[in-house]
Amino acid sequence: MAAHARKANEGLRLGDKTAVVVGGTRTFPSLTYNPTSEGHEPRFVVLASRVLIAEALADAGLQAGVIVHAPGGSATTFDPDDLELGAAFKNGTVSMGAIFERDRGMLDAFTLEFNARHPTIAMYHLNPGLVATRVVHNSGLTQPWKWLLGTLGACLGSDPAAVAELPVFLATVTGLPSARLLDAKLNSVKPTPWAEDGVLRTAVWENLMKLGSEVQQQQEEEAV
C-alpha cells in the first residue's frame, strides 16, 4: 500500500489541474480469505491504497479527483472497525453481495468525508455504467461463466477508451452539478444509507488513514 502512496505525485496532469482517477480492483471478490504478507485482505488493500493516494494528492495540488466505481449502495449498517470484513470471512458468512456493499459504502463515505475535509477540492464518486473490461476473465469463475458473462459484457458494455473520457471531463470542466456521487449521465446518486452518518464516516476515514500508516511503517521496516 505504501508503494501506491509513493506514486501520489504521478497524478494525471491536465493543464493547471491535477486529477486522480481511482478505479475498482479489476477482479471479482474472492470468498476465500487469502491475506497478504502484511495480513490484510487483498481486495480491500487495493481499494484502500487507491483512496489513500487521493488523500495524499490533496497535499500535492489536487484540484479535482474522481473515484470510478459504483456509488449508492443499500446497506444501512456497517462496522467501521471491521473494514476488511474479517468477522464474516472467519465465520464463513461472507458473500459477494456483502463485499460489493462494503466497497460501495466505503467509497461513498470516503468521498463525502474527503469533500468535507477538503472543501476547495472536488472529489467525485462516479458510476461509469456497464463497461466491457476484462474483469470477468481475471476472476476465479469457471470457464463457462467467464464465457457467458464475458460475451454479455462485450455486447452490452461500453468501450473502456470512451468511458475513460468521462472522469477526465468531470475532473477538469467547471460549472458541473454540485453533487459528488454521480451516475454515468452525471445525475446525482443517493449515498449508501450508513455513509450519511457523520460519525461512521469519520470512523471509517480514521481507520483507513491508520491502516495506511501501519502498512507503510511495516514496509519501511522490512526494507531496512
* pLDDT at 2 > cutoff 50: no
Read off the amino acid at residue 30. Answer: S
| Residue tagged 491504497 (cell numbers) | 49
Q: Which one of 47-56, 62-71, 176-185, 199-208 scores highest in mean pLDDT?
A: 199-208
**Pairing status of strand 17-22 against strand 181-182:** unpaired
Q: Tell me what the pLDDT averaged over the chain comes to.
A: 77
Mean pLDDT of 206-213: 86
pLDDT of residue 60 exceeding 90: no
Among the ranges given (34-43, 118-127, 192-201), the one the predictor scored with the smallest mean pLDDT: 34-43
- Asked if pLDDT for residue 17 goes beyond 70, the answer is no
Q: pTM score, two decimals?
A: 0.79
Whether 26 and 133 have beta carbons less than 8 Å apart is answered as yes
Would the pLDDT of 65 be above 60? yes
Q: Identify the band that residue 96 occupies on the pLDDT scale cut at 50, 70 and 90.
A: confident
Is-contact 129 158, C-beta < 8 A? yes
Sheet with 122-126, edge to edge strand ranges: 12-14, 17-22, 64-68, 122-126, 181-182
Residue 190 clears pLDDT 50, i.e. is over it:
yes
Q: Are strands 122-126 and 12-14 parallel, antiparallel or unpaired?
A: unpaired
Stated as kind and residue range, the H or E segment containing 68 is: strand 64-68
Are the C-beta atoms of 141 and 149 separated by less than 8 Å? yes
Q: Rg of the Cα trace of the chain? A: 17
Lookup result for grid cell 459477494: 96
Instruction: Tally the residues of the chain.
Output: 224
The pLDDT value given to residue 3: 42
Tens of pLDDT, residues 171-185: 777 667 789 999 988
